[in-house]
Every structure is written in structure tokens, then in C-alpha cells.
Structure 1
Amino acid sequence: MRAIVGDVPLAGSPFPPIADYAFLSDCEVTALIAPSGNVEWLCAPRLDSPSVFATLLDRDAGGFRLGPADASVPAARRYLPGTMVLETTWGTTTGWVIVRDAL
């Protein structure tokens, strides 16, 4: 759990605020995507199944990321209009990487 004072997380926590996570769902499976682009929570094949990725609870519990190795923080994130498709954009020294996540 995060230690917080009011709405401000205490320094030193490895976990971003829960409000900074993006939510993906296909009405059967759900996932939480961290601000870094990591899939940090995923239960499959159903919402009540055991977690496949659980980095949200424990940094050593496993996660998944598809993004450039030399950029740890995306330049931008947004849902494509009218969809549950998350678009994450990273700027690199040689160009841009755009990843679209959907379930």
C-alpha cells in the first residue's frame, strides 16, 4: 500500500498514484496500464481469475511492457476517441514509437 498524506503520495514509493493508471477492458478481462506503459494488473481469462501480472501490488510480481528500451516515460497517452483503445507515444533519439493497447 502507498503511504499518503492527503492526496499527495509520500516520497520513495515505487508505485504511481492509482488515478494515473489507464483501464482496459473487453467486458470479461481487465488490465491496468501504469504511466510507464507497463501492464501492471491483468486477470485472465476472467476478472475473477488469478492475476497474470500483479506488479501493481508487488514490484517483483511480474509485468509486461512493449516500448523503447531507452525511454522509460511516455511522451503522451490517450484513449482513441469513442473507444477503450489506449495509445501511448514515446519520443526517442531516432523517431517515435506508438503502441496501441486493447483487449
Structure 2
Amino acid sequence: MNCKLYSPLCVLLVGLSLPLGVAAQSDGNDVSLGDLARSYRKSQGAPARTLIDNDNLLQVMDEVQARKLAGGLLFSFDSSGKSFQVSSPDGTCSLSFSAQATS
């Protein structure tokens, strides 16, 4: 008797909750995601690209050096995973040219 009482009640609850789910799926704003992305991209404009040439090479190298010195520590494990290492990342860049070079 318990089953006969609960099954119409369950069907009634499911029937009443379906329109709520359908109403939650409809949206009054019909702008597609692609159109929204295109309009956002147009409003941003083209990003300014940094061009490195002979005139600003020293300035760029100084900025890189300042960022390197302001950088934090590098935390890493060895390949076996048993040793923990802390180091400061360091990198150098050497630009040279010689017209006497042979190939």
C-alpha cells in the first residue's frame, strides 16, 4: 500500500518540477558567445608589439636584468623525487658578431 501511495506523489512532483527546469534554460539575451567574443576583440584593438632593434637593445637588456634580479626562488625535486632543491634561476645572454667567422 505504501508503494501505491508514493508513486502518484512522485509522478506529481516530477511533473511540477519539469516546467521549472525548462524555464531556467530559456534566456532573454540572444547574443551568441561568438558574437560577444568578436565585439570584445574589436573593442580591445591590436596589442602593441614590442620591437627589439639596435636603438632599444640596451634598454631591453636592462629590463631583463632587472626582472631577473627581482625574480623569486625556484623550488624543484630531483629526478628520483627524494631530494628537494631551492635555487635562484639564472640565465645569461651573450650577443656577439664577428665578420672574420668562417663557415
- The TM-score bracket by the shorter chain reads under 0.3
The structure that has the greater radius of gyration is 2
Instruction: Please identify which structure carries the higher helix content.
Output: 2
Q: Which has the higher contact order (CA 8 A, sep 6+)?
A: 1
More strand by share: 1
User: What TM-score, normalized to structure 2?
Assistant: 0.16
